[in-house]
Amino acid sequence: MRLFLALVPPPELRRRLGELADLAHARCGGRRMPDESLHLTLAFLGEVAEEPADAVASWVRTLAVTPGRWRLDHWGRFRRPGIVWLGASRTDTALQALHGRLWDGLEHRGLTGRPDSFVPHITLLRRADTLETDGLPDVRLDWTYNQLELIHSITDDRGARYVSLARSGTP
Ligand code: 2AM
């Protein structure tokens, strides 16, 4: 099963991100991520068999995420495959540390695929017609988090749908 670890936005932030996704969609076209799918991927695990997936889920439930605040103030683009995203203009050391700690734990459990770098982002559009984000409003939002989720990505003809399998403990 295709898995990833993510921060999931609280409802009010999700609503605000959805409004920004609407504006980005009006400007850039492409496929707007539905509100319920908006997230920040902390670690992409890819295809994982059932047994290691169970081990990862058990481990996630034992984790305590240090509470943090991520400042969202930057429109970004990935040329391929036409992604328009929201993220931070500065490197967030807490998120980088969390990413490193998660990959230490994943590798300890036999998973591979640690990337060379981590660019925290929230994908708002896929396959955008244009990556020109000029004219979109300045953004200054804070995401306060204290919990991560293990998410199963299920793909069918309508695209990907996400199901939460496990949550970290709350501090
Ligand atoms: P994206 O939003 O930039 O596409 C579920 O697919 C989540 O995992 C998405 O947030 C997606 O990032 C991320 N993801 C998918 N494939 C990936 C890959 N090969 N490397 C890193 N992240 C990936």
Number of domains in the chain: 1
Range of the domain at 28: 2-167
Report whether residue 37 contacts ligand 1, using a CB cutoff of 6 Å.
no
Q: What is the CATH number of the domain that holds 158?
A: 3.90.1140.10
Give the tens place of pLDDT for each residue, 40-80: 999 999 999 999 999 999 999 999 999 999 999 999 999 98
Report whether residue 83 contacts ligand 1, using a CB cutoff of 6 Å.
yes
What long-range pairs does 44-49 form, CB within 8 A, spacing at least 24? 44/4, 44/113, 44/115, 45/2, 45/3, 45/4, 45/5, 45/106, 45/111, 45/113, 46/2, 46/3, 46/113, 47/1, 47/2, 48/1, 48/2, 48/3, 48/111
**CB-CB contact of 61 with 148 (8 Å):** no
CA of 143 to the centre of ligand 1 (A): 20
User: What global pTM score does this model have?
Assistant: 0.96
